[in-house]
């Protein structure tokens, strides 16, 4: 198995690592065992892309190379060995996570585009690739999905998809399109957290509980 | 994109709207943000049909037309704008929901039949199309699925499937078969709620908790 | 429909029955109704194999024969009729469950192998076939998945997969390979429960909650 290590691959692995770490850490808070933490980390990292691949009817990407399994192992190991120090790197992980989000979104956009879907489907697939893993993670640890209540997260994926679309309409070169889309996802995510921007919440209907 | 607006399409859209509304309203009770409410509404409306399409290995239906995304947006908007009045239309939504259930069931039966499955598989696919979306909704808002504990819901889909089967055995015309199946689903659902009919619950084994 | 009743089929049915019983019993503790208990039993029994078949892009196995539906009905009926006595047979069910786990794992390994996947994918598919149904069951009853926190369960599937791999590398006859893999799963599971062996848990990071 020859791995073609290029820039995109490295970013993809960094994103996978960051997503897996987030899963393992939340599993640890629920005192899951080693296997449970591994599964939650793996599902966080590859769940979104797997749902996308099932919807597009293409073979699940993580079954094509051992890399994703190995990176999840590495994330589990890192969480265990550096448990005491890991909290100090929260900001580093946040940046890795944002990079992962940007890259996953672009991968989803590209894969859906390649199958010949219309652009609105591509944007949804970019969004699913970036955000669904975190939803599965929260279902597995039996919590209300975080991204439904806090933070700009999936919205960053949608913005990235729109940038991708605009670039496409302007006949921008593919490389530039990908870079701009990924950077816009990362920027929206980082700026939203930095300035503490949230989407408005819906309020329950008061009469319902009477 | 030319939409073929016929009677069935209109009923399908009404059902989708009612299902999405039910998802958005439950998300609002959990104070989800706009994006979270949209996702829960969308999954409630298209989740059952998506699982069916994955099991039948046909392209997910909502990826073929923008309608389902747009209707979910409309449902979200309606819930926000008419929040104070929406409770007064609970009965209207219940009827819409029952119509949606009947129609979704028939769509599921038809799609499975078209792929050449035996009738018992078709009935299950009708049931999944009608009822699985509500299960996904409840998993996403982290509640025990409502239809496992209350009301005749999926059972209405099964009755509709049996009516479909009987019509098929009697060589009834396709149109009549569809109408009778859908009406039987709606009738069973409405009558069960009207007369407060429930399935018997299972009781836990007392010795287990000792 | 002529069913080819051989030894493997009988073991498969016993495993399905035991898995369905475990789902129905947990549903009963949550006071689900008959339909809810049936769905949870069915998902526990066929959920893992269904996820495997979706990932491998082959038709879901339970749609090929009525047997799995009928066995789940039988499990539901058994749980209702023998409710008072069923607790006394906990050990019998545990053994049936372990047999089911061993057999499901081997079926998963074989199906993935037949599609031409590399051995590490086959091991994951064996694991998913054996263990994912129980995860879906716990998501449906809104509990943290049991196998993430207690007992050696999925690890038994992994050991079975490794035994399968070693046998393959040694060019062992297929029948022997299957039997050894299944027996190793069963043995690991039974011995782990007997000697109360667990995987170590991860501990939460204390600083996070400050």
- Quick: pLDDT tens for A185-200: 999 999 998 888 888 8
Of A121, A118, A93, the residue nearest A25 (C-alpha): A93
Angle at B146 between CA B143 and CA B150, to 5 degrees: 145
Residue B4 has pLDDT above 70, yes or no: no
Average pLDDT over residues A64-79: 94
* Closest CB to A144 among B35, B63, B141: B141
Note the pLDDT of residue B5. Answer: 56
Q: Does B116 touch chain C (CB under 8 A)?
A: no
Provide the pLDDT for residue B206: 61
Does residue A84 register a pLDDT over 70?
A: yes
In chain C, which residues have their Cβ closer than 8 Å to the Cβ of A27? 148, 202
Partners of residue C200 in chain A, C-beta under 8 Å: 33-34
Question: Is the confidence at residue B136, as pLDDT, over 60?
Answer: yes
Distance of CA C43 to CAs A121, A126, C72, C129, Å? 30, 29, 10, 12
**Quick check: B74 pLDDT over 80?**
yes
Least CB–CB distance from B37: residue in A142, A145, A202: A202
Q: Quick one: which of B135, B131, B137 has its CA closest to B39?
A: B137
Residues 6 or more apart whose CB falls under 8 angstroms from that of A110 comprise A178
Q: What are the Cα distances from residue B197, in Å, to B47, B150, C80?
A: 27, 9, 20
Each residue of C107-137: pLDDT tens digit? 999 999 999 999 999 999 999 999 999 999 9
The mean pLDDT value for A103-123 works out to 94
pLDDT, average across residues B77-85: 85
Rounded (10°) angle between helices B119-140 and B7-29: 30
Helix (H, G, I), strand (E, B) or coil at C148: helix
CA C199 to chain centre: 19
The tokens for A50 are 């797997």
The arithmetic mean of pLDDT across residues B6-10, rounded, is 75
Environment class of residue A100 by beta-carbon count within 10 Å: exposed (0-12), middle (13-18) or buried (19+)?
buried
Summarised one tens digit per residue, pLDDT across range A125-155 is 999 999 999 999 999 999 999 888 877 888 9
What local confidence, expressed as pLDDT, does residue B2 receive?
A: 44
Q: Does residue A208 have a pLDDT over 50?
A: no
Q: Which of C32, C57, C60 sits opposite B202 (nearest CB)?
A: C32
Q: What is the pLDDT of residue C209?
A: 44
Overall residue count recorded for chain A in this entry: 210
> Number of residue pairs across B and C with CB atoms under 8 Å?
81
Q: Which residue of A has its CA nearest to B57?
A: A57
Q: Calculate mean pLDDT across residues B133-143.
A: 93
What pLDDT does B208 receive?
A: 46
Whether the CB-CB separation of B190 and B95 falls below 8 Å is answered with yes
Encoding tokens for residue A176? 């530039």
The pLDDT confidence band at residue A82, using thresholds 50, 70 and 90, is: confident
Question: How large is the C-alpha radius of gyration of chain A?
Answer: 17
C33 beta partners: B201
Q: Given this model, what pLDDT does residue B54 score?
A: 97
What's the length of chain C? 210
Token pair for residue A98?
Answer: 């944002």
ipTM for the predicted complex comes to 0.89
Query: pLDDT class for C61, splitting at 50, 70, 90?
Result: very high
The DSSP line for B11-28 is: HHHHHHHHHHHHHHHHHH
Q: Which of residues 38-57 of A touch C (CB under 8 A)?
A: 39-40, 50, 54, 57
Predicted pLDDT at C210? 38
Helix axes C90-114, C174-194, angle to 10 degrees: 140
β-partners of residue B33 are: A201
Q: Which residues on chain A are in Cβ contact (under 8 Å) with B140? A: 135, 139, 145, 148
Mapped onto helix, strand or coil, the DSSP state of residue A190 is helix
How far are the Cα atoms of A205, B18, C44 from residue C123, in angstroms, in the given order? 49, 43, 20
Within 8 A of C80 by CB-CB distance, chain B residues are 202
Mean pLDDT in chain C? 89
What residues contact residue B169 under an 8 Å CB cut-off, 6+ apart? none
pLDDT above 50 (res C2): no
pLDDT, average across residues B7-33: 88
Can you give the residue ranges of every domain in chain C?
Answer: 7-196
Q: Which residues of B touch A148 (CB under 8 A)?
A: 27, 30, 32-33, 35-37, 39-40, 140
B203 → closest Cβ in C31, C66, C139: C31
**What chains are in contact with A, requiring at least 3 Cβ pairs below 8 Å?**
B, C
């Amino acid at each position: 198995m020859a791995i073609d290590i290029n820039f995109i691959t490295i970013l993809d692995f960094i994103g996978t690592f960051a997503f897996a770490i987030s899963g393992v850490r939340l599993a640890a808070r629920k005192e899951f065992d080693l296997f449970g933490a591994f599964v939650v980390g793996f599902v966080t990292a590859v769940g979104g892309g797997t749902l996308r691949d099932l919807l597009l009817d293409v073979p699940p990407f993580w079954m094509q190379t051992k890399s994703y399994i190995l990176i999840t192992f590495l994330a589990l190991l890192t969480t265990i060995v550096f448990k005491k120090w890991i909290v100090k790197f929260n900001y580093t992980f946040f940046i890795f996570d944002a990079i992962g989000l940007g890259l996953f979104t672009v991968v989803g956009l590209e894969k859906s585009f390649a199958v010949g879907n219309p652009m609105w489907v591509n944007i949804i697939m970019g969004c699913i690739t970036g955000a669904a893993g975190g939803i599965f993670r929260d279902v597995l640890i039996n919590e209300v999905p975080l991204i439904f209540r806090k933070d700009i997260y999936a919205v960053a994926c949608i913005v990235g998809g729109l940038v991708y679309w605009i670039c496409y309409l302007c006949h921008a070169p593919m490389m530039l399109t990908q870079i701009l889309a990924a950077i816009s996802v990362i920027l929206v995510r980082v700026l939203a957290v930095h300035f503490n921007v949230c989407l408005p919440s819906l309020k329950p209907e008061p009469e319902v509980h009477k």
